[in-house]
Amino acid sequence: MSDGTGEARPVEARGLVKRYGEIVAVNDVDLTVERGDVFGYLGPNGAGKTTSLRMLLGLIRPTAGEARLFGRDPLTDGARALDGVAGFVEGPRFYPYMSGRKNLRLLADLDGGHPPGRIDEVLEIVELRNRAKDRVGGYSHGMRQRLGIAASLLREPQLLLLDEPATGLDPAGMRDMRELIKRLASNGITILLSSHILAEVEELCNRVAIIRRGTIIYQGRLDALLESAASGFRIRVSDPDRALDLLNDHPGIGSVSRADGHVRFQSDEASLGAATVALGRAGIGITELVPQTTSLEELFLTMTGGETSDADSAATA
Ligand SMILES: Nc1ncnc2c1ncn2[C@@H]1O[C@H](COP(=O)(O)OP(=O)(O)OP(=O)(O)O)[C@@H](O)[C@H]1O
Ligand SMILES: [Mg+2]
């Protein structure tokens, strides 16, 4: 590819650490975002999402570790590292007494100008064209968030870093934001968004990282995480020892274990059917089969320790 960003990954962070005195805001975080990902960075309040994004954008210096955007280090390569990258942390900032369009024009000028028509284009994309001449001070929170995305789009980014773009929006605002993010992704923009709203991440993202108290506790495909959340089963059988052996050797069955008279395992629907037939053929009777469903919500709460407030206040509570 000769798009100036080469073959390097949009985001590759290794061993990122950020300490503020005694507080370890981000602790040894590795993040990999591939081209075309809509990557969800999920974690409760105070987990370290914003701090991570600040390091990725080169706004603060990591205590240790390094971040690369398309192979470039925002600390050593300066503004050049942010070629093709845009976004905001903790909400975009605008002059409230100026119109949306005027704010964008100002940003475009600061950036050394943009092709004529680009401002209208980005206003159109975020559906703010008919409010563009109104003062930003009179915008709703959702409109301001969308204007923030419009500002990011001015730079025609290939990677967008968005810190909780839908937080604080009402249901309609959230839906609009989700639709907007989907449109951007379908236009080939790689997106890394932080969120503590599971449903949002579930609807938008193909890959996720879950951060808890500065540490990544899961990173990978969202569907794999969902499967692990919903595919557990527990059976009671006439011969648990043989069932254990049989299930261990059965294709599509994993994590087989024995617990108080039951055998537990993970399986998809198809393998489950085949396995029960195999057990029957082997003369092992099934007297109970119970799905061990965990919703992603529960899984998230379990993984993040059910924290609903800042780690700090939780720690001192
Ligand atoms: N400049 C700073 N000085 C001191 N502590 C900080 C600073 N910035 C962040 N922290 C601390 O680092 C931790 C992580 O904060 P961060 O803002 O990254 O969390 P977050 O995941 O973005 O949370 P939220 O969902 O509330 O936005 C918190 O304990 C916070 O208090
Ligand atoms: Mg934050």
311 lines ligand 1 (CB under 6 A): yes
The whole model's pTM is what? Answer: 0.78
Q: What is the pLDDT of residue 296?
A: 66
Enumerate residues with CB within 5 Å of ligand 2 (an ion): 49-50
Average pLDDT, the chain: 88
What would the mean pLDDT of 202-211 be, rounded to a whole number? 93
Flag whether pLDDT at 311 surpasses 50. Answer: no
What would the mean pLDDT of 205-222 be, rounded to a whole number? 93
Q: Which atom of ligand 1 is nearest to the CA of 47?
A: 21
**Rounded to the nearest whole angstrom, what is the distance from the C-alpha of residue 79 to the centroid of ligand 1?**
25
The CATH topology of domain 11-226 is: Rossmann fold (3.40.50)
17 lines ligand 1 (CB under 6 A): no
What would the mean pLDDT of 232-256 be, rounded to a whole number? 92
More confident residue, 308 or 99: 99
More confident residue, 163 or 155: 163
Q: What is the pLDDT of residue 293?
A: 64
Q: Where are the domains of the chain?
A: 11-226, 231-284
What would the mean pLDDT of 137-141 be, rounded to a whole number? 94
Give the ligand with the smallest distance to the CA of 16.
1
How would you write the chain as a 3-class SS string? CCCCCCCCCCEEEEEEEEEECCEEEEEEEEEEECCCCEEEEECCCCCCHHHHHHHHCCCCCCCEEEEEECCECCCCCHHHHHCCEEEECCCCCCCCCCEHHHHHHHHHHHCCCCCCCHHHHHHHHCCCHHHCCCEHHHCCHHHHHHHHHHHHHCCCCCEEEEECCCCCCCHHHHHHHHHHHHHHHHCCCEEEEEECCHHHHHHHCCEEEEEECCEEEEEEEHHHHHHHHHCEEEEEECCHHHHHHHHHHCCCEEEEEEECCEEEEEECHHHHHHHHHHHHHCCCCEEEEEEECCCHHHHHHHHCCCCCCCHHHHHHC
47 lines ligand 1 (CB under 6 A): yes
According to the per-residue pLDDT averaged within each range, which of 80-84, 157-161, 253-257, 292-296 is highest?
157-161
